[in-house]
Amino acid sequence: MKKLLFLIALPLLLSACASVQQAENFANCKYALRSVEIADYNINSLSFDMYVSITNLNKKEAAAIKKFEGKLTMNDTHVADINFADVRVEPGAVKNQKVHMEIPMSSFSNKLLGLVSMGSGTVDYHLTGTATFDTPLGEVPIPVDIGRIGSTN
């Protein structure tokens, strides 16, 4: 009887393991903060274009990022919430996802505002958030923590 139950359960266990492996493959990505560039500025706000590099390390499956939600800090000051959606990265490929943001001047300290407006290389950028992937098992959230120390470009 135990052997019969084992034989019945074996295909279920094997398919569950394969599904978990497939879900992990979809979320096997590497992230980097490529650049943050000033797009425009006025007395009320600064507009930035930020580029997040997403490398799909899987050589067979495309990564389908349903959504990304995160927070951007500059020199340990929270300056913006970052969101993007529906990004597909082909197997073994790199995608530089552009995110445009407009940040009120009131979000910046005087020192940080001076560094950013001069394009200083000493501004530390840090992005933390969650990338949610579409998989055959449903949505899989993966934590993301990336940054760029200003002096290392």
Residue pLDDT, tens place only, 91-141: 999 999 999 988 887 777 666 666 666 665 566 778 899 999 877 778 889
The enclosing domain of 85 has a CATH number of 2.60.40.1820
How confident is the model over 17-26, as a mean pLDDT? Answer: 48
Segments forming the whole domain that contains residue 30: 2-152
Question: Taking Cα atoms as reference points, which of 53, 70, 79, 73 lies closest to residue 129?
Answer: 70
Q: Are 62 and 29 in contact (CB under 8 A)?
A: no
What is the reported pLDDT for 122?
67
CA distance 95 to 72: 19
Torsion of CA 140, 141, 143, 144, to 10 degrees: 80
What is the reported pLDDT for 64?
87
**Residue 134, both tokens:** 């579409």
Q: Provide the domain count of the chain.
A: 1
